[in-house]
Chain A
Amino acid sequence: DAGVIQSPRHEVTEMGQEVTLRCKPISGHNSLFWYRQTMMRGLELLIYFNNNVPIDDSGMPEDRFSAKMPNASFSTLKIQPSEPRDSAVYFCASTMDRGAQHFGDGTRLSIL
C-alpha cells in the first residue's frame, strides 16, 4: 500500500523565494498534519486538517506560512517569502480519525 507521499524530497532555494511543499495522504484517511522538525525544537505541529477543513493552525509560525487542502488526496504548505530560519525538515502525516498518524519521508528544505 502506498504511504504518505511528499514532494519534493529536497528543496534548496534563496531567501525571498516562494516555496511550496506537497503531500498526498494515505487513501481513506480523513486527517492530515503538517510538522516541522529541527535540531533546536524537535518535531512541531504546524497545522492539521480534518475532512479537508483546517482545525488547528496555532503552530503556524507567522503569516508567511499558509496551508491548503483542496481535496481529500492533496495538501500544500506554502512559505512566501522564505527565510533562512525556515530551513528544516517538513513532514506530512495522515490518519483515520484519532488513530496512529502515518508520516511521509519529509521534505528537507534549505533556504540560503
Chain B
Amino acid sequence: GESVGLHLPTLSVQEGDNSIINCAYSNSASDYFIWYKQESGKGPQFIIDIRSNMDKRQGQRVTVLLNKTVKHLSLQIAATQPGDSAVYFCAENSGGSNYKLTFGKGTLLTVNP
C-alpha cells in the first residue's frame, strides 16, 4: 500500500560501540558516492566520499566500504559518541556531465550514553 510517510531505518547503539550503516544503490553507472550526516535543524553535512575505483576509504573515526558487485555502500563509525546521533544519508552520482545526486532515505542513528 501507499506509505504515509518515510519510515526511516533506525540503529541504536551504546556509546563506545562501533556502528555500521548500510545503503543499497540501484544505478550500476554510479561512480561517486557520498555519506552525509544531518542533525536536527541543520543541513546535511559532508562526512566522507568514495569513487568507484576504490573499495574502501578511511577518515577520522569513519570508514566507507563500496561493493560494486552487489551495489552496496556502508559507513562504519568507530567508538560511536552521543554527538554522532543523527540521520545519515548516502548519495550517488551517475557520472559524466550530470551533477545531480540521488539521495537514499536515510538511517536514524541513536547513541545511548
| A interface, CB within 8 angstroms of B | 4, 31, 33, 39-43, 45, 48, 50, 55-56, 91, 93, 95, 97-98, 100-106
Complex alpha-carbon distance, A45 and B105, angstroms:
13
Contact A56 B100 (CB under 8 A): yes
> For residue B31, which residue of chain A has the nearest CB?
A98
Contact A101 B101 (CB under 8 A): yes
> For residue B45, which residue of chain A has the nearest CB?
A103
| B interface, CB within 8 angstroms of A | 4-6, 32, 34, 36, 41-46, 49, 89, 91, 93, 95, 99-101, 103, 105-106
Select one of B5, B6, B44 contacting A103, CB under 8 A.
B44
Known: A39-B5, A40-B5. A50 touches B99 (CB 8 A): yes
CB proximity of B103 to chain A, nearest CB, Å: 5
Complex alpha-carbon distance, A33 and B99, angstroms:
9
Contact A31 B6 (CB under 8 A): no
Query: How many interface contacts (CB-CB < 8 Å) are there between A and B?
Result: 51
Complex alpha-carbon distance, A41 and B95, angstroms:
24
Complex alpha-carbon distance, A98 and B101, angstroms:
9
Residues of chain B contacted by A97 (CB below 8 angstroms):
99
Contact A105 B5 (CB under 8 A): no
Contact B43 A100 (CB under 8 A): no
Residues of chain A contacted by B95 (CB below 8 angstroms):
98
Query: Can you list 18 pairs linking A and B with CB atoms under 8 Å apart?
Result: A4-B43, A33-B99, A39-B5, A40-B4, A40-B6, A42-B106, A45-B101, A48-B99, A91-B43, A93-B44, A95-B99, A97-B99, A100-B49, A101-B34, A101-B91, A103-B36, A104-B43, A105-B43
Residues of chain B contacted by A50 (CB below 8 angstroms):
99
